[in-house]
Every structure is written in C-alpha cells, then in structure tokens.
Amino acid sequence: MAKPTFVVYREAIRAGKAPEDHPSREARLRELRGGRPVEAGAYVLYWMQMYMRGSENAALDEAIHRANELDLPLLVYQGLNSNYPEANARVHTFILECARDVALELAERGISYRFHLRRTRPARGSVLVHLARNAACVVVDDFPAFILPRVTDALVRHTADAGVPVVAVDANGLVPLQAISKRQYAAYTIRPRLHARVAENLVPAPAPVLQNRDTPLLPVSSDRFVELGSLDDAGLAAIVLSCDIDQAVLPSLRHTGGRRAAKTKLARFIEDDLERYADLRSDPGQAATSGLSPYMHFGCLSTLEVVRQVLLADANDESTDAFLEELVVRRELSYNFCHYTPTKDHSSLAVLPDWVKKTLSEHAADERNPTYTTVQLEAGRTHDEIWNAAQRELVSTGTFQGYLRMLWGKNIIRWTDSYEQAQEFMIRMHHRYALDGRNPNTYASILWCFGLHDRAFREQAVLGKLRPLNSSSTSRKFDLEPYFQMVETAVEERAMPILSDSPSKP
C-alpha cells in the first residue's frame, strides 16, 4: 500500500477554513479533577509548563475560554525550580529565554503573566499551590514525560481540599493523543490513524480573545516574581548564575531559546534547506535538517503552525512529505508511546516487544570488545572518531545530528557491559546536555536503538537481531570532513570543562 502523503492538504490550508467537523475543545482535554468552578475564585489559572508560546496554544485558548465563561481575569503562571534532574545552566538559560518571549507575547495580548524562580533546592512550600487554591479553576499542560506527570499529580493532590477543578490540555502535536485509542506498535500502524485525523486538525478554531482584562488579585506578594519581559541577556545570565544548579554545563552558543528564535529558525529552514531535505537530511556534513527539536520540545512552536508553513512553502513533494513524516508521524509515535506507558517505564527495557527481549536475553553475555567506562564515553574518548564527534557535538552545543544519534546509540550498546547500563547512560547524557532531551522523543528514540517501533534484522553479536548500524558504513556513505570541522569549531568556541576532567557522576 502506498504511503499516505501530506501534500494533499495544501488546498485545505490555503482555503484556511475550519472544516464543519472540526474537533471540539474536549478532544484535547483530560479532567484531572472535575467539579464546578470555585465561586470565590479570583481568576482562572493557567500553569504553563511545556507549551511556551503565547499564541497557537490550545491550553492557553482553553484557559481564555474558561475565564470568559466565568467573566474572570486570567493568570498565566510559570515556575522554574533548581531541583529537576541534571538541573544546569544550559537548560535554565534556554527556559528563561523562552519564558522572556512568553512574557512579551502575553503582554502584547493584555494577559497577566507571572514567573516564579526558586534559586535554591530543595523546594519548600509552593507559590503555585497557593495560587491554585485561590483560583476558580486551573488549566495545565498535558505533557506525557519526564517529571511533568508527577508534578502535575502533586498539584492535584495538594489542592484536593480546596476542590478547585483541574483540567489538562494536550497541545503536544497535530492530532490529540487520545484520538489514537491505544499504544501503537510502529510507524506503519500509527501512520494511517494519524492521516485519518489530519484534515480535521489542520485549521484551528479562531483564537479566543480575553474579555476581562483586570489584573488578577493574587494571594502572593508581587516581589516573589521575576519580571522577564524587560530583562536583557546580561541580566538573564546573572539570574542563571545565581541559581543552585550545575554551572559546568554551559549555555549553548548555537541555540537561543524562545519563540522569536524558533520562528527565525523555521523560516530559514524553509528558505534554505526544505527543498533538499529528502536527499540530504541524513548526511552529517550537509546540515540540511531544521534544528527545531529544542523549540518543539519546549513548545515554542505548535506542530500545526510548522505543518502549515511547510505546506504553504510549496517545496518539492518528496521533501515536504519526508519532513512531515518526521515532524508528525515519528514525533507523534513517540508521544503515543509515552502517553500509553507509565512514566517510570519510559526508562526501562521491560517495555520492549517480546522478540527484542528474547534476542537480548540470548546475547546478554556476549563479549563486548572494546568496552569503555561511562567517564570515557562522556568525554568522547573512544577509538571511533565519528562517535567521539557526535558526543562532543552534544556536549558542546546541546543537540546532535539525527543520523549520528542512531549510530551513537548502537555503539553505546556495543561498548558497555550491559544493555541496562547503555540505556541509563544514553538517558543521562540527554538529561544533562541535550536541549531537546527530557522529551517523549528522548525516551522512545533511545528505546528505538533497542528495537522499539522497529523490526528484526540478521543476528550478530551483542546487538542480537537489533538493527545494526556501524561507523565504517557511515564513513563510506558520507563525506564527514565538513561535520568534523563544524564540531571542532563548536568545541573550541564552547570549551567545556567536561571534556577534560570533570565528568558527571553516573
């Protein structure tokens, strides 16, 4: 059967009219605590966690609708603690840059926004809980991975006696997660299900306008909040330095956070690289991919706005389809995996299909040769210069090339003492260095290296029937010189202590 194509939706996008059967608001909602809005509530609270954008955001829209229905003001709240796993200057900087753009965009729309920064750990007391207990109802982001499900559950528990309704809104992808009713086996099973829902999700309902523009009366003094909108880069860097986080993982010089940078990156990709994406996306020397993954992770762009702009760009059909296959099918497959898998299992090999478990148990005792300690791996000191370059790109820039990520993962499996150690190391590297880490793509793609969403191949040592990828075929396939040079430049401009003598603790 031919693969369904995205280019058939160009006309619908151009017409710009929401279809009659446009899904209702409810399609993206999950009630975490039902009930009527609290009458004494002074405002509707939207706790923005992962969708860091002040427009094109179904969760923000839902909060505005609820505020309008109750004739209440809206408060958008964001918080940043220092106690998330591997908390560091790189991730903090990117988040603050994103939040600064949110502050500016919401100010333009006349929507109240407060940002709370907790510089020290452990976190004690909670501004958020205080705000939530005084709200008529609370809207939260429905992000299915990392610490998000746990901290959202905690909010629901800590506001139980106040009885404030809490609703989670899924603005993760093009198609709502619950529109696909169960965990999917592979891209070929989710692809037709997604395509069946694409048309109805292509044109969003008109964005609601907030009616009540009063400044909400807060039960918390305003000096608890950081004013981000007027903050320049030096001020932002000073805030990061004041936090009790790992300052050794330096901010990325290659990726600036926020919606403005995301829009620029998307426009540049469409202008310069989309046309050649189908042919060159795997080639590390060509840098022909979008570089959008940190922005997609932190929600600086909605999937829909990227889909819309890519379709309107009229690039060749093959490249348009290849790109949207990654952005929609592969990405939403990862979200589907995390949505239907308990969070604790995102980092476990126990969720793998039976054929994988069988082949891994048959090869668990195979001799590994060579082997490296996690300290050697983290420092990018193996015999394999392609692998080292990929690792060093990750450490110094905060992302690394997509094709090499696959090779990187396969070689870690070959070179560590056990499959569990390999998985644990890959996740830790992503938590520590990757700006797009902590995402459903992180956990599902690492598991992909172990056969998730994949098929069996010819058996070999250590990998068993997992898909084999190796460095010698990679160097035969591509001219890697431009890639090596790019990495060397990145390493030089962002010399990190980690590359010499301060590896993170396993």
User: Which positions lie near ligand FAD, rule CB under 6 A?
Assistant: 281, 289-293, 296-297, 326-327, 330-331, 334, 402, 405-406, 409, 430, 434, 436-437, 439, 441-442, 445-446, 448-449
Rounded distance between C-alpha atoms, residue 124 and residue 471, angstroms: 48
End-to-end CA distance of the chain: 46
- Between 405 and 494, CB nearer to ligand FAD: 405
Rounded distance between C-alpha atoms, residue 214 and residue 43, angstroms: 10
In the complex, the smallest distance separating the C-beta of residue 316 from ligand FAD, rounded to whole angstroms, is 16
- Between 251 and 437, CB nearer to ligand FAD: 437
State residue 5 phi and psi, 5-degree precision: -115, 155
CA atoms within 13 A on the CB side of 162: 23
In the complex, the smallest distance separating the C-beta of residue 402 from ligand FAD, rounded to whole angstroms, is 3
Tallying the residues shown for the chain, one arrives at 506
Q: Which residue is nearest to ligand FAD (CB)?
A: 402
- Between 255 and 465, CB nearer to ligand FAD: 255
Rounded distance between C-alpha atoms, residue 134 and residue 41, angstroms: 5
- Between 105 and 332, CB nearer to ligand FAD: 332
Q: Which helix (H) or strand (E) holds 12?
A: helix 10-15
In the complex, the smallest distance separating the C-beta of residue 301 from ligand FAD, rounded to whole angstroms, is 10
- Between 176 and 409, CB nearer to ligand FAD: 409
CA atoms within 13 A on the CB side of 108: 8
Could you give the 3-state DSSP secondary structure of residue 116? strand
- Between 82 and 411, CB nearer to ligand FAD: 411
Burial code of 69-105, b = ≥16 C-beta within 10 A, e = fewer?
ebebbbbbbbbbbbebebbbbbbbbbbbbbbbbbbbb
- Between 437 and 464, CB nearer to ligand FAD: 437
Peptide bond into 370 cis (omega under 30): yes
- Between 62 and 141, CB nearer to ligand FAD: 141
Closest CA to 446 of 183, 170, 145, 149: 145
In the complex, the smallest distance separating the C-beta of residue 140 from ligand FAD, rounded to whole angstroms, is 22
- Between 67 and 390, CB nearer to ligand FAD: 390
Rounded distance between C-alpha atoms, residue 119 and residue 96, angstroms: 13
In the complex, the smallest distance separating the C-beta of residue 465 from ligand FAD, rounded to whole angstroms, is 18
In the complex, the smallest distance separating the C-beta of residue 331 from ligand FAD, rounded to whole angstroms, is 4
- Between 37 and 402, CB nearer to ligand FAD: 402
In the complex, the smallest distance separating the C-beta of residue 330 from ligand FAD, rounded to whole angstroms, is 4
State residue 387 phi and psi, 5-degree precision: -60, -45
In the complex, the smallest distance separating the C-beta of residue 118 from ligand FAD, rounded to whole angstroms, is 25
Tell me the residue type at 357: K
Rounded distance between C-alpha atoms, residue 338 and residue 332, angstroms: 10
- Between 259 and 330, CB nearer to ligand FAD: 330
Tokens 């995390």 label which residue?
Answer: 338
Closest CA to 68 of 150, 163, 137, 22: 137
Could you give the 3-state DSSP secondary structure of residue 153? helix
Listed in sequence order, the residues at least 6 apart from 131 whose beta carbon sits closer than 8 Å to its beta carbon are 45, 75, 77, 218, 219, 220
In the complex, the smallest distance separating the C-beta of residue 88 from ligand FAD, rounded to whole angstroms, is 15
Which strand ranges, in their side-by-side order, compose the sheet holding 137-141?
A: 29-33, 166-169, 137-141, 44-47, 74-80, 112-117
Chain centroid to Cα 506, Å, comes to: 23
- Between 281 and 494, CB nearer to ligand FAD: 281
Tokens of 351: 């969720």
Q: Is the dihedral of CA 440, 297, 227, 92 positive or negative?
A: positive
- Between 156 and 469, CB nearer to ligand FAD: 469
Tokens of 485: 């040079």
In the complex, the smallest distance separating the C-beta of residue 472 from ligand FAD, rounded to whole angstroms, is 19
CA dist list (Å): 358 to 184, 449, 462: 20, 16, 13
In the complex, the smallest distance separating the C-beta of residue 51 from ligand FAD, rounded to whole angstroms, is 14
Rounded distance between C-alpha atoms, residue 243 and residue 147, angstroms: 20
In the complex, the smallest distance separating the C-beta of residue 281 from ligand FAD, rounded to whole angstroms, is 5
